[in-house]
Chain A
Amino acid sequence: MKLRLIRRDAASRLAMFASPVLALALTCLASLVLFAALGKPAGAALHALLLKPFLSWYSFSEVLLKMAPLLLIAQGLAIGFRANVFNIGAEGQFIVGALCASAMPVYFPQGDLPLMLPTMIAAGALGGTVYALIAAALRTRFGASEILVTLMMALIAVQILNYLLLGPWKDPRGFNFPQTVMFPDNALLPILFDGTRTNISLIFSLLASVFAYLIMQHHFRGYQLRTAGLAPRAALYAGFSAPRMVWLGLGIGGLAAGIAGASEVAGPLGQLQRSVTSGYGYAAIIVAYVGGLNPLGIIASSFLISVIYIGGDSATVSAGLPVAAVEVFQGLLLFFYLLTFTLIRYRVELDRKVPA
């Protein structure tokens, strides 16, 4: 007896919804074993990881706070991924977005710049986009792999951040800490729910999701991007410009990451500091894939990953879980998702016959 994979005539809708659930269940099972092997209270760890975030309004609002940048970046990245444009350096575009946005409050620390916040968001968006388009230029002009270029450019972005924080942008009254001045009030995003840190960037992210849904599922441009990803030669045959797909795929990813970066400094951080490199750009790759690169799926997956982030924080405290174990949990989730994802296009069949 053995298992066989048979290609389905059409993608299974049931499997589309069931596979993330199955992946989550398998992840829980595997991490129970893993946590137990580490000698940690496995049940308590899982409780902290998956349930605690829902047990108080404050921790739930922190989930929403995390969700905003993850969702926004993942929507941007997914558009590129579907066109086979692999921007894995969203972290860099996120940092550059944060830098560009921070320039306004750094040079106008009294807040005496009209339209401070819109200018910051626009600067962040522009910065992220331009930074990503460098990779597009290198890919279309010289055929350089955008995978390597965007990844390396993320490392460069971290160094630019370090330079600015240790040099010209350092807060003169900041006791030599590598951070800028605290931003004035008019450079901070309005809070969405009183008593929490959740700000209106969540609204940006949800709007971006609606936009991504409309473009990818119902607009011709999204169709072109999907075609370029599924069958590049068919895209060429139809006459969809391949370089344009690269420019678009990278540009949209950079735009989203840049806005997310701007929202991060204008939101929970309130200044530019080194901790802006928190790995959102990389985590968003997982979010995009766990969401099946589907705009609606990504809303669900960004929520799930945020829960794991917040739950992971509390698990390290309450169950003494090492931080790495939380990252392993995320990795397991992606791994099992990719495994179960196969079920969408293939069905498993038991080979009844005994080989001769």
Chain B
Amino acid sequence: MSQPALLRLDKVSKRYGSVQANRQIDLSVRAGSIHAVLGENGAGKSTLMKLIYGVEQPDAGRICWKGQEVHLARPSDAQSLGIGMVFQHFSLFETLSVVQNVSLMIPGRPVELARKIQDLGDQFGLSVDPHAMVHRLSVGERQRVEIIRCLLLNPKLLILDEPTSVLPPQSARRLFETLRKLQAEGMAILFISHKLDEIRELCDTASVLRGGEVTGRVDPREHDARSLAQLMIGREMPNVAHAAPRPPGQERLRLNGLSHPRASRFGTTLKGIDLKLHSGEIIGIAGISGNGQQELAALVSGETRAQDPGMIEIMGKKAGHLGPMARRRLGFSFVPEERLGRGAVPEMSLADNSLLTAHGRNMLSRGFIRRKVERAFTRDCIEAFDVRTPGPDAEAGAMSGGNLQKFILGREIMLQPDVMLVSQPTWGVDIGAATAIRRRLLDMRDQGCAILVISEEMDELFEMCSKLHVLNHGTLSAALEAAQTTPQEIGRYMIGAQS
């Protein structure tokens, strides 16, 4: 350890109002190291990264770059030092194309940039159409754009916030190879992930955060996932031994040759999708975002109407022509992948966000809102689903992703649905919250609810589902028994090598 650390944090603290987000954090990242930052929701990881990237400034403490103290007043200061960051919440302009977004940060002619984007995409398996409009891209594709945009700046330190949560196993592998190549060239990488196995495989150092403080510095290769998780949440890991599913019961949701033309040239056409979902079972739809996941979810939820009422049957009734409200009345509920702006209105309080879908639960009297019922429902939801928030009046936009997801999932479960569609249930959510969310879904299954899960996270699908389908290019594979297939087989379906 002769050379000084590339980046060193010395007793860095940051407070937001009454919340101490970071307390006396010490961190040291060497060149050529892949350094993991582990922590639960609200442990202060995102705040810490914002301090390093110059988005926020610390209240106390020092940040040193190559041994020199620096003040990062804005991200461009950090970028000029050679710090790049891929955010968990994307910072892309939806109304611009991929290459236009990139050109906002990177100088160069669009034609040139488009070629570079294509090259990097091919090199690292981050393929994305440079001329596609960002608002048409799935969550997964948007993250690829973010990673590519960072790599174009040739950073010395790359910060990745939950980078693999949207990648298929094959691409995650390729990303790891990329990261190792970058590491070999001397780049330092700060890697935030809740996938403990990944951290153990990839990282040489891990700093564990809990309650805004560093609670451990370990070599993750010398710890098993269980002990890492325990360091992170400060107690024994919740046990994930699930009751075996009971034999499925009555049919609750049925897709009969569901086909739908794409809405735009960036969309996906769905072709003849067949699916049967019974009470007491969880069926998973695996696949990389952008293969029709958004379109399928919108069709099943009623946000898009099917072309023929019979293509979708909910609780034995033709429902393809019904809107989301009517389907909710049939006993259907839906947790969408985007939380802010779709699952919740950012500018509204949690109480008002309860009203969004739960208005049918006695919250209205002659159309007037019954504030007491609304607040009681919200308080129950906050309590029952362990949502960490000041209360029902907190604005949804001010909450962390995992907490908001717990709230939205809680709200939909409290509707006591017979059929649920859950899209990317734990995307960007840390292990503590993710475990809680999966446990809730399994509880719902055991109570007889029929659940369809669309997810890019293979582990999650294998943990919860009894059957799996793979959605690729708008076509759904036949059902695969989860117990009789492997991630590798699913992966082959995902990249279209098998059908």
Contact = CB atoms under 8 A, between A and B. Distances in A.
> What band does the interface of chain B fall in when counting residues whose beta carbon is under 8 Å from A?
35 or more
Contacts of B328: 239
Given A223-B352, A353-B57, A231 B342 contact: yes
B367 A221 contact: yes
A203 interface: no
Contacts of B346: 230-231
A220 B369 contact: yes
Max chain B Cβ within 10 angstroms of own Cβ: one of A218, A221, A227, A238: A238
A47 interface: no
A140 to B, nearest CB: 15
Given A220-B367, A237-B324, A237-B336, A10 B394 contact: yes
Nearest to A9: B398
Contacts of B367: 219-221
B336 A239 contact: no
Contacts of A351: 57, 73
Contacts of A236: 303, 324, 342
A355 interface: yes
Contacts of A355: 71, 73, 77
B326 interface: yes
Contact of B341 (A10, A219, A231, A354): A231
Contact of B394 (A9, A214, A241): A9
A9 B369 contact: no
B17 A218 contact: no
B77 A223 contact: no
Contacts of A234: 341-345, 356
A133 B355 CA distance: 29
A356 interface: yes
Contact of B356 (A10, A238, A241, A356): A238
A255 to B, nearest CB: 18
Nearest to B301: A237
Interface string A205-218: 00000000010001
A356 B71 CA distance: 5
Contacts of A214: 368
> What band does the interface of chain A fall in when counting residues whose beta carbon is under 8 Å from B?
20 to 34
A344 to B, nearest CB: 11
A218 B338 contact: no
Contacts of B302: 239
A238 B71 CA distance: 45
Contacts of B398: 9-10
Interface string B331-375: 000101010011111111100100111010000100111000000
Max chain B Cβ within 10 angstroms of own Cβ: one of A214, A223, A226, A234: A234
A191 B215 CA distance: 76
Contact of B355 (A10, A223, A233): A223
Contact of A218 (B326, B336, B368): B368
A353 B344 CA distance: 37
B60 interface: no
B463 interface: no
B119 interface: no
A239 B323 contact: yes
B325 A220 contact: no
Contacts of B334: 237
A231 B341 CA distance: 5
A293 to B, nearest CB: 13
Nearest to B16: A9
Contact of B324 (A223, A227, A239, A356): A239
B393 interface: yes
B430 interface: no
B395 interface: yes
Contacts of B364: 220
Contacts of B342: 231, 233-234, 236-237
Given A220-B369, A238-B325, A227 B359 contact: no
Contacts of A221: 367
Contacts of B73: 351, 353, 355-356
B70 interface: yes
A351 B57 CA distance: 9
Given A9-B394, A219-B367, A239 B70 contact: no
Max chain A Cβ within 10 angstroms of own Cβ: one of B344, B356, B393, B394: B356
A234 to B, nearest CB: 5
A238 B357 contact: yes
A249 to B, nearest CB: 17
Max chain A Cβ within 10 angstroms of own Cβ: one of B303, B326, B334: B303
Max chain B Cβ within 10 angstroms of own Cβ: one of A10, A231, A233, A354: A231
B114 to A, nearest CB: 29
A324 B27 CA distance: 63
B368 A231 contact: no
A227 B356 CA distance: 8
A214 B369 CA distance: 10
A233 B71 contact: no
Max chain B Cβ within 10 angstroms of own Cβ: one of A220, A239, A353: A239
Contacts of A9: 17, 394-395, 398
A241 B341 CA distance: 16
B369 A219 contact: yes
A13 B227 CA distance: 47
B134 to A, nearest CB: 15
A226 B368 CA distance: 15
B300 to A, nearest CB: 12
A218 B355 CA distance: 12
21 contacts: A9-B395, A9-B398, A214-B368, A220-B355, A220-B364, A220-B367, A223-B355, A230-B346, A230-B348, A231-B347, A234-B341, A234-B342, A236-B324, A237-B301, A237-B303, A237-B324, A239-B326, A353-B71, A353-B73, A355-B71, A356-B72
Interface of B: 17, 57, 70-73, 77, 301-303, 323-328, 334, 336, 338, 341-349, 352, 355-357, 359, 364, 367-369, 393-395, 398
Interface of A: 9-10, 214, 218-221, 223, 226-227, 230-231, 233-234, 236-241, 351, 353-356
Given A218-B368, A234-B356, 10 more contacts: A10-B349, A220-B359, A227-B356, A230-B345, A231-B347, A234-B343, A236-B303, A237-B303, A237-B356, A356-B72
Counting from the closest, the 3 A-B pairs by CB-CB distance are: A239-B324, A239-B325, A356-B71
